[in-house]
Amino acid sequence: MVFPFSSIEDFRVELKSEHELFRKTVREFAERELEPHLREIERTNQIPQQLLKKAAELGYFGLGIPEEYGGQGTDLIYNSIYVEEVSRICPAFTVATLVHGLFTFPVLKFGTEEQRRKYVIPLARGEKHAAHATTEPGAGSDVAAIETTAKEKDGGWVINGRKYFISGADKADYFIVLARTSPPPSKKERWKGLTFFIVERGTEGFRVGEKIEVVGIRGSHPCEVILDNVYVPDENRVGEEGMGFKIAMETYDHGRLGVAAQAVGVAQAAFEKSLQYTMQRRAFERPLLGFQAVQFHISEMLTYLEAARLMLYWASHLATQERPEAVFAASMAKLFATEAAEKAALKAITVHGGMGVAVEGMVERFLRDVQIFKTYEGTNDIQRLVIMRQMMKQAFGMEIS
């Protein structure tokens, strides 16, 4: 036994030649299709629509989704490879697929067959886009504090509230929205009484508000979403009434693998760019890489990068097998990979000297992107709490707060 795991076998990761073939295809897509647009995306803060269409044609929106719902039927390692390879060039581009996952995962797992057919199939084909709306101006980490309400009326629900920081809201056709449907039974059970609903763009009273400018992942900007007496039929409720908190937590357990993969992609880019630069750039009549202090930076970048990648594939493998440990493994992968990427980004800036802080050098952006990875899908300090709570629950059946 390797506490808290049952055996050393639990660290096995099954990587196949098909995974490597897939990586090559995604790399070609990212380098050929995305890279030429990178500076334009950074400058305009917009992803050209035709690039999303191309990704849809290649089936990238269907990764991890069963074939019967329009997906590729692939395991979660494919999702991680896709996000990692694309993030090596442009992490903002992967936000579209990640937010699709925050919609399709809860609908596939907790929704009705009608919902799966109506919403997941067009999303898996990339014909429609989705967003996930939980966060509010007054509630982020503390999901149970949301103030959006849904009240029963005429066999349906009337939703009122304001959501904030909603990625992809400007393009989304379908939104999955968390609302309070009943007051919490006690202070200790604040998480009870929350429910998810699907709201379609164009529903009366629903509006996407201001775009929120953030420091990084340019090309993807979160928005405000306003729900003013929005009526949805009961068939739009996802999962049982009052189960919203549980569904949200399971969705994030799954989704944070994507953030770990974004971080591995950025760490890879920072490493490669730094190695190339220090081999070419000369100082004191030799390449920068000739200095041991510079070598130390590069070798540390590589060490943290490969450790992060192993954790990502391992956690993705556990999640594919639906192992209970996958919950804290995903949190550990997100925590470690985003902090490894932060280290890599800082070192990349350091070894690039002035070019490291010049916007035209396209190096400082790594750090801006990583700060967002450390924040969304549960901040890294929230991951520290999840790891501890889940590990205690798994190992001893003990609930700690």
Ligand X SMILES: Cc1cc2nc3c(=O)[nH]c(=O)nc-3n(C[C@H](O)[C@H](O)[C@H](O)COP(=O)(O)OP(=O)(O)OC[C@H]3O[C@@H](n4cnc5c(N)ncnc54)[C@H](O)[C@@H]3O)c2cc1C
The two three-digit tokens of residue 71, written as one number: 């997906």
Residue 210: its H or E element? strand 206-211
Is 377 assigned a catalytic role?
A: yes
Best CA proximity match to 56, nearest among 126, 156, 160: 126
Q: Give the nearest distance from C-beta 96 to ligand X in angstroms.
A: 11
Q: Give the nearest distance from C-beta 323 to ligand X in angstroms.
A: 25
Interface residues for ligand X in 132-151 (CB under 6 A)? 132-135, 140-142
Query: What are 223's strand-pairing partners?
Result: 166, 211
Q: Tell me what percent of the chain is helix, strand and coil, each rounded to the nearest 5.
A: 60, 15, 25
Q: Give the nearest distance from C-beta 148 to ligand X in angstroms.
A: 11
| Binding test (CB under 6 A) with ligand X, winner from 376, 387, 390, 391 | 376
Q: Does 258 bind ligand X (CB under 6 A)?
A: no
Query: What are 243's strand-pairing partners?
Result: 194
Q: Give the nearest distance from C-beta 272 to ligand X in angstroms.
A: 25
Q: How far apart are CA 163 and CA 255, in angstroms?
A: 19
Q: Does 101 bind ligand X (CB under 6 A)?
A: no
Of the residues 84, 136, 325, 377, only one is catalytic, namely 377
Q: Does 236 bind ligand X (CB under 6 A)?
A: no
Q: Cβ closer to ligand X: 96 or 166?
A: 166
- Contact, 203 vs 185, CB < 8 A? no
Q: Does 71 bind ligand X (CB under 6 A)?
A: no
Residue 273: its H or E element? helix 244-280
| Binding test (CB under 6 A) with ligand X, winner from 382, 386, 387, 391 | 382
Q: Does 381 bind ligand X (CB under 6 A)?
A: yes
Looking at beta carbons, which residue is closest to ligand X? 140
Q: Give the nearest distance from C-beta 167 to ligand X in angstroms.
A: 3
Query: What are 206's strand-pairing partners?
Result: 227
Lookup result for tokens 């098909």: 18
Strands 174-180 and 156-166: unpaired
| Binding test (CB under 6 A) with ligand X, winner from 198, 214, 305, 319 | 214
Residue 223, sorted as left (phi over 0), alpha (psi -120 to 50) or beta, turns out to be beta
Q: Does 25 bind ligand X (CB under 6 A)?
A: no
Q: Cβ closer to ligand X: 256 or 309?
A: 256
Q: How far apart are CA 238 and CA 171, in angstroms?
A: 22
| Binding test (CB under 6 A) with ligand X, winner from 378, 386, 387, 390 | 378
Residues with active-site annotation: 377
Residues near ligand X (CB under 6 A) are 99, 132-135, 140-142, 165-167, 214, 222, 372, 375-376, 378-379, 381-382, 385
